[in-house]
Amino acid sequence: MEMNSYMAIGSNIRGANAEAGRAARREVYLTFGYNYRFIRAFGEFAKKLVETPALLTKNKVKLKDFLIKIRKYAKAYYLDVYDTLKKNLSNLESLSAKDVKSLSTKLGALKIAKSTLVSNVVQPLKNKYPIIEKYLVNPLSSSMPVNITVDEIETYWKTLSGKFNSSCDEIIRISGEIKEILGRIRIKG
């Protein structure tokens, strides 16, 4: 199912896989905060990595794994934690004092983990590739300059991918712990 969802992200499909495709797109959009300019900058980098059949063969698995990771991050951070929390705000008093304290501590840790992801991965990318900032300032800017090579993108990403993976894994881990606490909320009524 994950492969089908991955393949459906950019497809105009119908039927059973259409909903999976929409969910996949929403998760990717959540990762980028529904910011068109961030989504577009990512799209330009991704397009560069698969613009020829040889590059597609070489980078398809890496790009698929990246998309799966950001979707898991988005689901854990936004849907499992903040969406669930928002839906259950009026029922938080059903948690024990210990759970409330633990929830508060873990939400703080989650905020720090996300901040670490931004400072260790997102900001260095923006610093290395001013084109990202250009997209953020001017949504009508042209596509990525040809002077940024696939090899340059791959080489630079290798310096950040370990930090990216560990930051995402930490966010997913903390989100799972928060989800467990939120699962103990008793709904009134």
Max mean pLDDT among 25-29, 118-122, 164-168 falls in 164-168
Residues 6+ apart with CB under 8 A from 42: 32
In this prediction, residue 14 has a pLDDT band, given cuts at 50, 70 and 90, of low
Q: Mind listing the pLDDT tens digit for each residue in 53-70?
A: 999 999 999 999 999 999
Q: How far is CA 189 from CA 60, 88, 90, 91, 186, in A?
A: 49, 13, 11, 10, 9
Q: 179: pLDDT confidence band, cut at 50, 70 and 90? A: very high
2-182 topology per CATH:
Bbcrasp-1 (1.10.3160)
Using CA atoms of 126, 137, 67, 115 in order, give the dihedral in degrees to the nearest 10.
60
Alpha-carbon distance 133 to 122, whole Å? Answer: 11
> Which pTM value belongs to this model?
0.82
Cβ 132 vs Cβ 41: under 8 Å: yes
**The pLDDT of residue 71 is above 60:** yes
Q: pLDDT per residue over 91-147, tens digit each?
A: 999 999 999 999 999 999 999 999 999 899 888 887 887 766 665 566 666 665 556
Comparing 11-15, 81-85, 89-93, 114-118, the range with the smallest average pLDDT is 11-15
| pLDDT value, residue 5 | 40
The mean-pLDDT minimum among 14-18, 19-23, 176-180 falls in 14-18
